[in-house]
Structure 1
Amino acid sequence: MMQKQMKSRGPSDVAWTRLRKIVGLSSALGATFIIAACATEHPGITHCKILMQSSHCVEVPLASDVESREARAFAPSVQGKAAIYLLRPYSQKRSSTSSVYLDNKLLIILGPMTFARIDVEGRHRLRIETDDLASLEYDMKATTNVYLQYQLSEAPFSVRPELSEIDEADAKKRVQRLDLVKPVIDSYMYQD
């Protein structure tokens, strides 16, 4: 007669079984917290898609669809006045806003992938500040439309702000994929 030999489970087998259960439950619990955090709204942060990747970007006040279409039409300014188109067309420093001052008055707040149209007449100084980066200034006398690109160039361990003029054709192409921001104050029109 053959006897079945039972393999007894020793203390180490029981410990490994318990450990596997604990790890499995901990993983499920951790995944639940991650999913809940991603689905929760965070004040000041908006979900955005940049270069086909879902991400989180700082939230800035956006203009209506009607205002956006009008700004993208690049309508000419009235005689003696000019429009400043200010673009922040890239996604660097997505959690940072850029405060734009005109003659030392806060005018707009740009976020990544946004732009603004500012109608002005006369001489003005534009200043842009982003977090702990150096502020940039641009002096102008409004006679024709100006197209400016504000870019935050990232390098290992540093970020450098850059402000450059671009041509109208390039600005027209770039604003098509950007959101128009709302002004912080009620009026865009500034005079000397």
Structure 2
Amino acid sequence: MVLLGSLCTAGWTASLLVGHFVDCGPELHRIGLAVHILALVLSFGTILVVDWLGLLWLLGKVQMHESGKLEAAAKPLIWGGLALLLFSGALIDPDLTNPVTVIKLACVLVLMLNGLSIAPAMHQLLALPACTRFGELGRRLRLRLMVALSISQACWWTAVLIGLINSTLRRWAGV
């Protein structure tokens, strides 16, 4: 877990450093922005589907293992999309002097580390019988799942909205 967290942090840091110190030019910026949007759709779209199925389980509409199976199958899409977001983010010249951009970038790091930290709880959850309902889980596991979901959604939506606002403001300024 610590190794994966260190790798995520190193990739995030490398993306920031390249984005800040390397001038990629307008052509690479356009390509980077297109890849960034596609990667966002891939990773965040997958997260929304996984979280939706988790909500359906919470409401008693589906069995627990359906959500776990989807989450396991979706991991390559989520993490591949995140890797593309880091790569393409370096090409779109992030303004590290803008506090709002720094908040967005911090949200990206937090959501990656949160995604890693939920793995033990997911293993614990999937070891239970498929018919287990949310209310039957131990208080600690329920709290861990709800906190992770809240952190994930808050960070994703914050990063997406800040990215949209930053991109719109750049376009209006002609940058």
TM-score scaled by length of structure 1: 0.22
Instruction: Kindly indicate whether structure 1 or structure 2 has the higher relative contact order, using CA contacts under 8 Å at least 6 residues apart.
Output: 2
Greater strand percent: which structure? 1
Greater helix percent: which structure? 2
TM-score scaled by length of structure 2: 0.24
